[in-house]
Amino acid sequence: MSQTVRGVISRKKGEPVEVVEVVIPDPGPGEVVVDVIACGVCHTDLTYRDGGINDEFPFLLGHEAAGTVESVGPGVTNVEPGDFVILNWRAVCGQCRACKRGRPWYCFDTFNASQPMTLTDGTELTPALGIGAFADKTLVHEGQCTKVDPAADPAVAGLLGCGVMAGLGAAVNTGAVSRDDTVAVIGCGGVGDAAIAGAALVGAKRIIAVDTDNKKLDWAREFGATHTVNARELDPVATICDLTDGWGADVVIDAVGRPETWKQAFYARDLAGTVVLVGVPTPDMRLEMPLIDFFSRGGSLKSSWYGDCLPERDFPTLIALYLQGRLPLEQFVTERIGIDGVEDAFHKMHAGEVLRSVVVL
Ligand SMILES: NC(=O)c1ccc[n+]([C@@H]2O[C@H](COP(=O)([O-])OP(=O)(O)OC[C@H]3O[C@@H](n4cnc5c(N)ncnc54)[C@H](O)[C@@H]3O)[C@@H](O)[C@H]2O)c1
Ligand SMILES: [Zn+2]
Ligand SMILES: [Zn+2]
């Protein structure tokens, strides 16, 4: 038994995505069918479409999702039908060397469903980040489902499943920003603004937002930036230093992911400060810098995948803070679109018109 639903696939590198019929198998052992309610459009979906992740076309896109558990396979104990869940791409295994060393946020063996979702002709689909949620329903592993308070707006909750968690965690988990810190965030898209919101949540005393687009800087203020810098008009390194009594910020987060922004992050830091790279560079990018600068400035140079999050720990907490009005997650939702709006949403993302477009199913 299986069911056929609508899904957004990328059939060929660089070509527009299509809405087609997708076959969802009944859940096997450890698997869960989720009735998707909302799924945000993330940069990584576009990177899949453009062949930047791998060549395993066709992809079933979408991975920032919330929904309701429809049915569960044998042995599933984590969730039951009717549960409201956020889907995650870090279903920690508990068995790999990272998990066994007590660092499950580096888990090397995250769980996914074992049966494939397919096209009606039997062609196997590769779900984006093991999720594939631009679809009425999707098949995932039970560990990919994190139960949260159903009072949360699904369009908002789903965003914690990727970009918002990545940015917020880059500040709070990886950068360990805390009360009294000065923080600068370079690049104020959804990820950078989430880093700003995270820094504000934990009490950073100054939060400097850097972008090349004034509209993005206005939005950054709404998430808690205390100062903004347009990198087209002012030198970001000198301005961040000026705004931190000449010292540089304790933590600088690069949410763009280019050699020039990373260098700015490096030099805009106080001595022994922290750089967190959360923007994703392309494989051809290179850095050339004096090694002596690394030596003399000390501190820590980190990168952050998925905000070093643990979904079971972080999602319910962040949803609770949002429901209490302490974390403005609803501001990330720029627009709600239908399942046929994904290609258009990619264009708006490219043009910098949105923080997140969210497909509502
Ligand atoms: N590490 C992770 O786990 C993870 C997860 C999700 C996304 N990401 C990555 O995070 C990055 C940001 O994602 P997003 O959704 O916020 O993208 P986005 O395109 O919405 O935001 C990027 C922002 O950077 C600004 N910008 C571009 N060049 C700049 C420059 N030279 N100086 C200052 N600002 C500049 C843009 O104006 C834009 O506001 C992407 O590289 C994405 O792939 C990483
Ligand atoms: Zn593991
Ligand atoms: Zn994503």
Tens of pLDDT along 93-145?
999 999 999 999 999 999 999 999 999 999 999 999 999 999 999 999 999 99
Ligand 1 nearest-atom number relative to CA 307 = 3
Q: What tokens were used for 81? A: 């039908």
pLDDT of 329 > 90? The answer is yes
pLDDT digits (tens, 9 = 90+) for 200-213: 999 999 999 999 99
Task: Decide whether any atom of ligand 1 lies within 6 Å of the 8 Cβ.
Answer: no
CA 335–ligand 3 middle distance (angstroms): 17
Averaged over 290-300, what is the pLDDT?
A: 95
Task: Decide whether any atom of ligand 1 lies within 6 Å of the 191 Cβ.
Answer: yes
Task: Decide whether any atom of ligand 1 lies within 6 Å of the 306 Cβ.
Answer: yes
Give the separation between CA 158 and CA 161, rounded to whole angstroms: 5
pTM for the full predicted model: 0.96
pLDDT digits (tens, 9 = 90+) for 37-53: 999 999 999 999 999 89
Task: Decide whether any atom of ligand 1 lies within 6 Å of the 261 Cβ.
Answer: yes
| Proximal ligand: closest to the CA of 61 | 3
pLDDT of 222 > 90? The answer is yes
Ligand 1 nearest-atom number relative to CA 187 = 24
Phi, psi of 305 (to 5 degrees): -100, 120
Q: State the pLDDT at residue 1.
A: 81
Q: State the pLDDT at residue 283.
A: 85
Ligand 1 nearest-atom number relative to CA 280 = 41
Give 282's pLDDT tier (boundaries 50, 70, 90).
confident
* HEC sequence for the chain: CEEEEEEEEECCCCCCCEEEEEEEECCCCCEEEEEEEEEECCHHHHHHHCCCCCCCCCEECCCEEEEEEEEECCCCCCCCCCCEEEECCCCCCCCCHHHHCCCHHHCCCCCCCCCCCEECCCCECEEHHHCCCCECEEEEEHHHEEECCCCCCHHHHHHHHCHHHHHHHHHHHHCCCCCCCEEEEECCCHHHHHHHHHHHHCCCCEEEEEECCHHHHHHHHHCCCCEEEECCCCCHHHHHHHCCCCCCEEEEEECCCCHHHHHHHHHCEEEEEEEEECCCCCCCCCCCCCHHHHHHHCCEEEECCHHHCCHHHHHHHHHHHHHCCCCCHHHHEEEEECHHHHHHHHHHHHCCCCCEEEEEC
CA 39–ligand 3 middle distance (angstroms): 10
CA 97–ligand 2 middle distance (angstroms): 7
